[in-house]
Copies of this chain bind each other. A is one copy, B any other.
Amino acid sequence: MPTNAPSRAIRSDGTRYDVVGIGNSLVDVIAQADDSFIHREALTKGSMTLIDTDRALHLYKALGSAVEMSGGSAANTVCGVSSFGGRAAYIGKVSADDLGEVFGHDLRAVGVHFAPGEHMDGMPTGRCIIVVTPDAQRTMNTYLGVSSYLCPTDVDERVVAVGRVLYMEGYLFDRDDAKQAFRHAAQVAHRAGRQVSLTLSDSFCVDRHRDDFRALVEDEVDILFGNEHELMSLYELDSFEAAVAAVRRDSALAVITRGPQGAAIITADEIVDVAAEEVGHVLDTTGAGDLFAAGFLFGLTNGYSLAECGRLGSIAAAEVISHVGPRPLVELRTLIPWG
């Protein structure tokens, strides 16, 4: 049942949402497989690869029985924000098929306002075939479908203008239309006096679009999310310290996760180190970065200190990697360590 229904009343700063996410709207198709499958299908473990229809059909056929649940990086993040008790909205494109219905339901069910883009005939809802290996790593194969056709007119400006932070996933950069939609959304947000954040999504994605990412981080991004590999790839630097120095010049705030080492929150003045939470048994790392961002953004938009924001990020990431699936199974608000 929709247990999360935060008030949508307009706050004193004119906002209705803490976080407005824009991303690829994907339903995850999750199947277990062993390392020999990864090898046989020439997959790169832990990465996200874009695939076409034929490859999607082939991989799906080669895999064992699967479970379907809503995913999408930014969508996972806004669900996490809502689960903490924050106010969240999501903009993305699905089709009028079963999977599109599932995707919309799962957002609304946790109290996220869903502003879908326009349907396109004959273009199915995107899906991400996730192969989970016994080491809990996930290897993602994304058939974008209609999701990547998000264009500027799909961005509901009224929604973006009333969100404290706009949150965009780098994966959207894989199509020009969507890239333009992002620039447009960022401008709308800035004109309304809101903050703009971006997550780099994965190192191969950064590789594919390094120049565009760099320009954006310099010009439009107030808060940058990513992991250490993505950050080093962005600046083509071999050392984390050098990459930290570089991002300090470009972005007011950077939130960089470091796997079991936790995370670093980087501003012009300080670096706040965040420890990773203890996890009994890591079952599936899908969604770890998305949920770290959720905790951080919930904290940031609700007046917590940077160290507290980081702690909330770690708590949310720890919850999501302890089970299969990219979204929290418990209400994250119940895990906030201080009342």
Contact = CB atoms under 8 A, between A and B. Distances in A.
A102 B66 contact: yes
A105 B31 CA distance: 12
A98 interface: yes
A316 to B, nearest CB: 16
A2 interface: yes
A67 interface: yes
Identical chains bound together, number: 2
A110 B31 CA distance: 12
Interface residues of A, number: 34
A121 to B, nearest CB: 16
Given A1-B37, A33-B1, A98-B98, A109 B67 contact: no
B98 A66 contact: no
Nearest to A101: B60
A64 B102 contact: no
A31 B33 CA distance: 25
A64 B3 contact: yes
Contact of A67 (B79, B108, B325): B325
Contacts of A98: 97-99, 124-125
A33 B32 CA distance: 27
A179 interface: no
A327 interface: yes
A91 B34 CA distance: 30
Nearest to A95: B98
Contacts of A32: 329
Contacts of A277: none
A79 B99 CA distance: 24
Contacts of A102: 66, 68
Nearest to A125: B98
A106 interface: yes
Interface string A86-124: 000000000001110010011011100000000000001
A45 to B, nearest CB: 15
A67 B69 contact: yes
Contacts of A37: 1
A70 interface: yes
Q: Which of A64, A66, A97, A327 has the most C-beta atoms of chain B within 10 angstroms of its own C-beta?
A: A64
A214 to B, nearest CB: 36
A158 B37 CA distance: 34
Closest 3 CB pairs of A and B: A98-B98, A68-B68, A65-B106
